[in-house]
Amino acid sequence: MAANTQNNNKAKKTGGKEAQPLIIAKSPAEEQRLKLERLMRNPDKPAPIPDRPKEWNPRAPPEFVRDVMGSSAGAGSGEFHVYRHLRRREYQRQDFLDKMSEKLNADQRYLDKVEQNKMAAEDRTAKRRKKRDKLKQKKLMAKKAKMESKDRKEGEPDSSSDSNEGEDDDDEEEREDDAEAPSFIMGR
């Protein structure tokens, strides 16, 4: 046991790094924990962030084909394999282009659907806003009618005593109505 400790001490370098015991992760969670611990030992050191893997692209088709061959009779025994590889590569390229066009179409359909949903939501909002405004206006008109009927009941005894005061009451009612009514109702 003591000899093992001496060997470990000799193996240490004096470069400033401490030898860490080898810990084998038994689960993915433990592996992640170990990685985080290693990163947190030196928080000033920037953490490596891997780049996003590039999407696979097929090789572009050749612009000029020098020796055109086929799988027909008369070709050499090695030519068929070359033809087969070219054909496989072209099929892969066409499949890739088909998948890309389908992906673009799906993205466009999604964006159209989002725009359509947004328009529908705006229409519903406008319809509800119109309904709320109509209800507010109805309440305002009911309140206004109630105030007028109340003013008339109060004004009846006064009108019998003096006719000039009745005319003044009408002018005051018009001013009150103008003050109470919002500008969008009065058309200002």
Encode pLDDT of 167-185 as tens digits. 555 555 555 555 555 555 5
More confident site: 163 or 80? 80
CB 173 within 8 A of CB 166: no
Report percent pLDDT > 90 for the chain: 36
pTM (2 d.p.): 0.43
Say if 111 falls within a structural domain: yes
11 within some domain: no
Average pLDDT over residues 63-79: 67
pLDDT attached to residue 94: 93
What's residue 73's pLDDT? Answer: 58
How wide is the angle at C-alpha 96 spanned by C-alphas 92 and 102, nearest 5°?
145
- Phi, psi (rounded to 5 degrees) for 74: 105, -20
Residue 43 inside a domain? The answer is no
Structural domain count of the chain: 1
Please report the pLDDT score of residue 1 as a whole number. 46
pLDDT given at position 81: 82
Residue 130, domain member (yes or no): yes
Q: What is the DSSP string of 121-178?
A: HHHHHHHHHHHHHHHHHHHHHHHHHHHHHHHHHHHHHHHHH-HHHHHHHHHHHHHHHH
Q: Which of 9-13, 78-82, 136-140 has the lowest mean pLDDT?
A: 9-13
What mean pLDDT do residues 24-38 have?
A: 90
**Mean pLDDT for the chain?**
78
Domain housing 98: 77-152
Specify which of 75-89, 131-145, 162-176 reaches the highest per-range mean pLDDT. 131-145
